[in-house]
Structure 1
Amino acid sequence: MKNILIPTDFSSNAYHAIAYALNVFKCERTNFYFIHAYADEVYGPYHNVDKETFDKQKNSIADESEKKLNKLVIDTQTKTHNPLHKYEGISSFESLVDAINDFADSKNIDLIIMGTKGKTASSKITFGSNTVQVFKYVKCPVLAVPDQYDYSQPKKILFPSNYMLPYKRRELKLLDIMAGEFKAEVLSLYISDFEDLSLRQLDNKKFLEESLPNARLSFVRTGVHNRANAITEYIKENDIDLLVMVNSRHSFLEDLLYQSTIDKIGLSPTIPFLVMQNLPR
């Protein structure tokens, strides 16, 4: 039984992420939890009002959140009729990151699936601020789905790595399960002008092989230039269906996430992007 958490702000991008999630796990027994965190909707517009007005607005927004979640659950059940799936809505008076982390711990969530942008996101950016915050601070695997991406079964998965940081089996387990279920090829991309690896890199590369027994794993290399551009180009030139990266201390992805936006670096995949966390949970 899989436990999947899907944050929603009831935008079209959020509904698109739900549709993608239902397709990914259509043949598996899965609990889907739709979570709406509304603290920012309360504190943003109403932080300078008296307590009575604040409480009134808070209760109104909470009621509206519950109504929309109930409708979302009913609509999803009506449209899918999948006996393998169960749905539940969760309304939370917390920030998005806190709500997700608390719920992920309480329900032992396997994967978070969300849109790349929300209601107010500009068409010029790739990842909205909420998505970047979840990538950075949520201690659970996160799959972000672009709103223009139509579901197709992932057959080619790109996994960039410099083999410098040791992986953990728990973070690679999800990748191995997905690759096995979809009979997908995993392409481990090494961005370097040199083929030779250090002893540390060789050890980490071997561990990667041992940890992905169900994947059709291949090792590929491309020359050094802007790493984000190298990843984006490889995706386009090789018909990649899913990008997977690990967020860990001192990793390339951490460098990307701690810029003001990922877009400034140039990483703009038009395919689903799975971020696995090498962080304490």
Structure 2
Amino acid sequence: MKNVLIPTDFSKNAMNAIRFALEFFKYDNCEFYFLHTYEDEVYEKHNIAEEVSFDKIKEDAKIKSEENLNSLFKEVTSLAPHKRFKHHLISAYNSILDEVDKIVIDKNIDLIVMGTKGEGSNHAYAFGSNTLQVLKYVACPVLVIPEFCKYEQPKKVLFPTNFLIPYRRRELKLLNTMLKPFRSMVDVLYIAKYSNLSRRQIDNREFLVEELDGLELKFETVDKKDVSKAIIHHIKTYEIDLLVMVNTRHSYLEDMLYRSKVDDISLHTDIPFLALQNVRRTI
């Protein structure tokens, strides 16, 4: 049973991510937690209409949030009336980052699914602010669905890695169970000037092979200075369906996410993107 958290603001973008998740996990037993947080909405409305009491605006926002979640529930059960799926609705007066972090711990969430702006929106950076905050600070894998991304089976998967990090068994098990129904081929891309690996890197590579048993892995080394350009080149050249990266210290993804400005992030893609957080959680 997978526990999947999907934050939503009821936009078309968020609904596209929900549709994608329902299709992606149609072969699995899943508990979906649909979350809407309305703290920001309350503060914005109160600043505009200061003559209305704060408590009144807060109560109205709560009612609207719950009504929209109930409407979403009806649409979700119509789209995917599977007995394998269970659904939970959560309306919270909180910031999205704090509430997501709380639910991840309380419900032992395996995966967060979020919609975000894609290249088709002509945005200056790859991730929306909420998605970026969750990617950076919440200890849970995140599957990011770009705005204009249409569901396709992940037959070809790209996994860029420097083999320097000790992967977590729970997260590789999640990846394995996600991809096995599709018999995915995984391109493991090592971007470095030299192809020789240290003892640590060899051990981590062997662990990766063991935990992704049953999937077809193809290893490749490329000599590139710009990691994001190497990744994008591989995605376009080999028509990749899903990008998987690990977000931890000394990883490729950390270098892209932890910069002084959001618009410095150079990784832009319109395919689904799975960030494994590689953190110590319940096994």
Distance 1:38 1:145, change over 3 A: same
The one-character-per-residue Cα deviations of 1:234-260 (angstroms, maximum 9, x if unpaired) are 001001111011111232211211225
TM-score of the two chains, using structure 1 as the length reference: 0.92
SS of residue matched to 2:53 = helix
2-side partners of 1:252 and 1:150: how far apart?
Answer: 26
Aligned match of 1:239: 239
Aligned match of 1:85: 85
Shift of 1:148: 1.3
Shift of 1:140: 0.9
Counterpart amino acid of residue 23 in structure 1: E
The one-character-per-residue Cα deviations of 1:164-191 (angstroms, maximum 9, x if unpaired) are 1221212211112123222111111001
Q: How does 1:44-55 map to 2 (within 5 A)?
A: 44-46=44-46, 53-55=53-55
Deviates more, 1:159-168 or 1:13-22: 159-168
Contact kept? 1:141, 1:275, Cα under 8 Å: yes
1-side partners of 2:260 and 2:15: how far apart?
Answer: 26
Q: How does 1:108-123 map to 2 (within 5 A)?
A: 108-117=108-117, 123=123
1-side partners of 2:26 and 2:139: how far apart?
Answer: 25
Aligned match of 2:65: 65
Aligned match of 2:148: 148
2-side partners of 1:85 and 1:261: how far apart?
Answer: 39
Shift of 1:53: 1.0
Aligned match of 1:200: 200
Confirm whether residue 38 of structure 1 aligns to residue 34 of structure 2.
no
Shift of 1:29: 2.1
Confirm whether residue 133 of structure 1 aligns to residue 133 of structure 2.
yes
SS of residue matched to 2:177 = helix
TM-score of the two chains, using structure 2 as the length reference: 0.91
Confirm whether residue 159 of structure 1 aligns to residue 159 of structure 2.
yes
Aligned length: 279
2-side partners of 1:155 and 1:91: how far apart?
Answer: 36
2-side partners of 1:164 and 1:81: how far apart?
Answer: 43
Shift of 1:205: 1.3
Shift of 1:82: 2.4
Q: How does 1:176-215 map to 2 (within 5 A)?
A: 176-215=176-215
Q: How does 1:9-48 map to 2 (within 5 A)?
A: 9-46=9-46
Contact kept? 1:177, 1:214, Cα under 8 Å: no
RMSD, aligned α-carbons: 2.1
SS of residue matched to 1:101 = helix
Aligned match of 2:253: 253
Shift of 1:45: 4.2
2-side partners of 1:124 and 1:180: how far apart?
Answer: 35
Contact kept? 1:179, 1:214, Cα under 8 Å: no
Deviates more, 1:158-167 or 1:256-265: 256-265
2-side partners of 1:237 and 1:64: how far apart?
Answer: 46
SS of residue matched to 2:256 = helix
Spell out structure 1 runs of 4+ moving beyond 3 A: 47-52, 121-125, 260-263
Confirm whether residue 96 of structure 1 aligns to residue 134 of structure 2.
no
2-side partners of 1:170 and 1:28: how far apart?
Answer: 17
Distance 1:216 1:193, change over 3 A: same
Counterpart amino acid of residue 83 in structure 2: P
The one-character-per-residue Cα deviations of 1:29-65 (angstroms, maximum 9, x if unpaired) are 2221110011111234436987971111111111110
2-side partners of 1:28 and 1:164: how far apart?
Answer: 32
Contact kept? 1:256, 1:262, Cα under 8 Å: no
SS of residue matched to 2:72 = helix
Gaps of 5+ in 1: none
| Percentage of matched positions with identical amino acids | 48
1-side partners of 2:62 and 2:51: how far apart?
Answer: 16
Shift of 1:4: 1.2
Contact kept? 2:168, 2:280, Cα under 8 Å: no
